Amino acid sequence: MARQVRAEVTRDAVLGGAAEVFVRLGYANASLNEIIDEAGVTKGALYFHFGSKEELARGVIDAGVERFGAAARSKMEQRAPALETAIEVSVLNATLSESDQIVRAMYRLLVEIGDYRGVDAAPFGLWFDSVQGLIQRARDEDDLVESVDVDAVSLLLMQTVTGARIVSEALGRPDQLAEQIESLWSILLPALVPADKLGYFRQFVSRRLRVS
């Protein structure tokens, strides 16, 4: 049991070190030696858990997907109105990656690697299903106008939130991601929400991003 605990601690250290290096340098420029130094482990310890840099990167993706998924499920289990929950989950894209380097590395690696071979789950498919469920429930709760196409809006939310993240990183402005998400909702809400509820949801977005 003690050996298993030590192995898990070492694996976590390797993933944490790898996340730091991948965020700082990107997948192509990161070297295993830099990851070993960052993690404070031996080369043998790293190779015990991961056979290559690609395998390690996919391990970081899996860990990040799991952490983001757990945080998102926590929001969904509160059974708040679905549109509020969809807004909360979009805010997680900004706040969780600020506090968790593995989540931030996961987002970067998903773009840089560009496929999911060797990854436990295809994250975009899982995220789309979750968003789709929230948007459907929001329409059922009469928080969206009847003309809303659930599939189209779900896909648009995925595309815009993902795009905002990519652009903020590319421009070297990751600290502005929350502002971009607020701007996103300010543009989308008038097309989605009944006029008598628009003011409330605008205030909800602003309040959530100001306190996060």
What is the separation, in whole angstroms, between the first and last Cα of the chain? 39
Is residue 162 within 8 A of residue 102, CB to CB? The reply is no
In a domain, 1, yes or no: no
Structure tokens at 121: 């789950």
In this structure, is residue 119 part of a structural domain?
A: yes
Closest residue by Cα to residue 84 from 135, 127, 129: 135
Residues 16/56, Cβ–Cβ less than 8 Å: no
CATH code for the domain in which residue 76 is found:
1.10.357.10
Contact 44, 126 (CB under 8 A): no
CB atoms within 10 A of CB 172: 8
- pLDDT at res. 118: 58
Domain span at 78: 53-211
Residue 85 burial by Cβ neighbours in a 10 Å radius (0-12, 13-18, 19+): buried
For 124-150, what is each residue's pLDDT tens digit? 888 899 999 999 999 999 999 999 999
- Whole-number average pLDDT of the chain: 90
Q: Is 122 inside any structural domain?
A: yes
pLDDT tens profile 150-184: 999 999 999 998 888 888 888 888 778 888 888 99
Number of domains observed in the structure of the chain: 1
102 belongs to a structural domain:
yes
Residue 207 lies in a domain: yes
